[in-house]
Structure 1
Amino acid sequence: MDNSNIQQYMASELILAIGDIPTYALYGEVGDDPTADWVHCETIQIRSRLHNYRILPHRHEKLFQILHLAEGTAEIVVDGRSTQLIGPAIVTLPPMTVHGYTFSPDVQGTVLTLFDSRLTHILAEMDGVRETFRSVHLISLHDHEDAARTLTADIASLAAELAGRGSARSEAIQARLMLILIALHRMQGASQTDGGRSPVRRALQHALRFRELVDLHFRSHQPIEIYASRLGLTSPHLNRICREHLGDTALGVIHQRIILEAKRYLTFTSLSAKEIALALAFDDPAYFARFFKQKTGLPPLAFRAMQQDAMA
């Protein structure tokens, strides 16, 4: 998919249907320019006003997004948790994050979208930066006035490159995007000076890579030994790293991810508990119900009722 045209991939609210949670490639129009087929840029206003300034919860399968809220307000819901943002602010969203927005009618800003695989390629030689963007970040720019001005200028320059037809256009777009990503990384206080050579830094990289593998394979219920082997670690070593950097055992991290997905299904779909159990590769729906209650304190349908009451 890396070499496909992103504007074709993003066309017409394409739903990829994982369960009943809408999984959009993205809204967009088919373009005819092959020189920047991996990135898309549009204003928040032009898309949100078509939907009365409300974008219902959905997720993108293979796309990474940066939303720059320059002016106005936004309520963002990420995995059922609501946060109010007042511009200027930045939101970064890795693939498969369930999110939705309600914007004020005076909203101004930009949404940048690119293939997550291209993000990995761009940041491949920049140790520590890629890890920053494996998680959701909501960044207020009110305390970063100089950085906010620079980001606004860099995003405007990137949009101008996309709209133009200059020579080395794709390379210029990539360079502008890299500056934006580095600025956001620095705001997170994530810059490292040890080049990844310290034991602590290496352990953190293993922990983040493990979490990435869990995101890919949690439905298959693989044993810890398989994950450890893929990381070149022993199971006890992986457990120590997870406790130190992720706050739980390796098995606990896997269980957290399964429960998160179950909560998403219960909150955003009408699937029955049995259907959700099957979607998460539980052979016994009764065991799934017990597992869910053990981890959350509520049976699945009671959790759904609670979420519906809260959203109402």
Structure 2
Amino acid sequence: MKKTPGTVRSFALYGNSDTAPAWAELVHLEDIPERSSRFDWEIDLHFHEGLLQLLYLTAGGESEAFIDGTRWVLRPPCLILVPARAVHGFSFHPQTDGPVITAAQKPLESLAALTAPGLLDHLRRPVVLEVAPDSRHARELQPLFEAIQHESQWHADGGMAAGMALLTALLVQVARVAATAPATAQSLRTRKALQIARFRSLLDEHVRRRESVSHYAQALGITPGQLSRLTREVLGISAQDVINARVVHEAQRELVYSSLAIKQIAAELGFEDEAYFGRFFKTHTGHRPTEFRTLARQQLA
């Protein structure tokens, strides 16, 4: 696996040429060997635009994950949560097994904000969690993965609502595991990876203020140039690109899952006027806000 980003590619699902919008496929589930074995168990660094991934390694030998510059040692059974736009790759043991869920992060965040606000932090931060094989958590996780797989294959009426509800329940279980189990390989987190994690956390807090690279650099105690070099080294893009991507993510979520007018969304996200917001959004998505809202809601319907 390439551990240093050059051109980090975006995939809907790794190895697929399509980059379907995050709202088009709300929940996808497959087993790790189904995709990883096609690439000799080596998944190069990449990211998913708007898509969260949750892996549950249930079998196999010691493997490795690289997420936003952090190396994690994977010893089954363990859970791996990779939020949207996190640059990640895997080096799996050839006998690795277990389910992988890929899901749209925006609707999950909207649902969590209404039903379990405490989940938002878990949805936005990469983590690897040990799961004790004979624990209550291990017994409760597998049935939820199986129920989600059943809904994703059944295609019955109300499947989307059932799938999202089950996924929320699964994430509640992940949060419970996090509350009782130590994260794996914390000692392997580099200073750069910790700075990236802090930068992402600050972005989550201040995304609606339209703060500059200089603002975030000052909060991190480094120069704007150092911050951009850091993000290019770890994430493969500039600090301004990271900021813009987070703003676009928030704008898309509001456009699809809120009833606010475009002018209101622009103001909520710190834009001077609706026209400026429209130009910014089209530059980064290829669609005007009204077009995006219409297309996304049609696909959801």
What is the alpha-carbon distance in structure 1 between the residues aligned to residue 28 and residue 231 of structure 2?
A: 27
Partner of 2:126: 136
Matches for 1:1-312 after TM superposition, within 5 Å: 20-27=7-14, 37-72=25-60, 73-125=62-114, 126-142=116-132, 145-189=135-179, 210-212=202-204, 220-221=212-213, 223=215, 251-253=218-220, 255=222, 259=226, 262-266=229-233
Provide Cα deviations, 1:159-192, integer angstroms capped at 9, x if missing partner: 11111133321222122111101111122229xx
Structure 2's unaligned 5+ residue stretches are: 181-198, 244-301
Report which structure shows greater RCO (CA 8 Å, sep ≥6).
2
Aligned length: 214
Q: How much does 1:79 deviate?
A: 2.6
Structure 1's unaligned 5+ residue stretches are: 1-17, 191-206, 225-249, 282-312
Matched-pair identity in %: 24
What is the alpha-carbon distance in structure 1 between the residues aligned to residue 125 and residue 224 of structure 2?
A: 13
Larger radius of gyration: 1
Secondary structure of the 1:113 match is strand
Q: CA 1:260–1:173 in structure 2 vs 1: closer, same or farther (change >3 Å)?
A: farther
**TM-score of the pair, normalised by structure 2:** 0.60
RMSD: 3.8
What is the alpha-carbon distance in structure 2 between the residues aligned to residue 114 and residue 53 of structure 1?
A: 22
Q: How much does 1:209 deviate?
A: 7.0
Secondary structure of the 1:188 match is helix
Q: How much does 1:258 deviate?
A: 7.5
What is the alpha-carbon distance in structure 1 between the residues aligned to residue 109 and residue 241 of structure 2?
A: 29
Provide Cα deviations, 1:222-250, integer angstroms capped at 9, x if missing partner: 648xxxxxxxxxxxxxxxxxxxxxxxxx8
Secondary structure of the 2:64 match is strand
- Assess if the C-alpha contact under 8 Å between 1:79 and 1:264 holds in 2: no
Q: CA 1:277–1:103 in structure 2 vs 1: closer, same or farther (change >3 Å)?
A: closer
- Assess if the C-alpha contact under 8 Å between 1:218 and 1:257 holds in 2: no
What is the alpha-carbon distance in structure 1 between the residues aligned to residue 224 and residue 10 of structure 2?
A: 18
Provide Cα deviations, 1:58-91, integer angstroms capped at 9, x if missing partner: 1122111111111114211123332211111101
Q: How much does 1:216 deviate?
A: 8.9
After TM superposition, the structure 1 stretch with the greater mean CA deviation from structure 2, 109-118 or 212-221, is: 212-221
Amino acid at match of 2:108: L
What is the alpha-carbon distance in structure 2 between the residues aligned to residue 256 and residue 144 of structure 1?
A: 48
**TM-score of the pair, normalised by structure 1:** 0.58
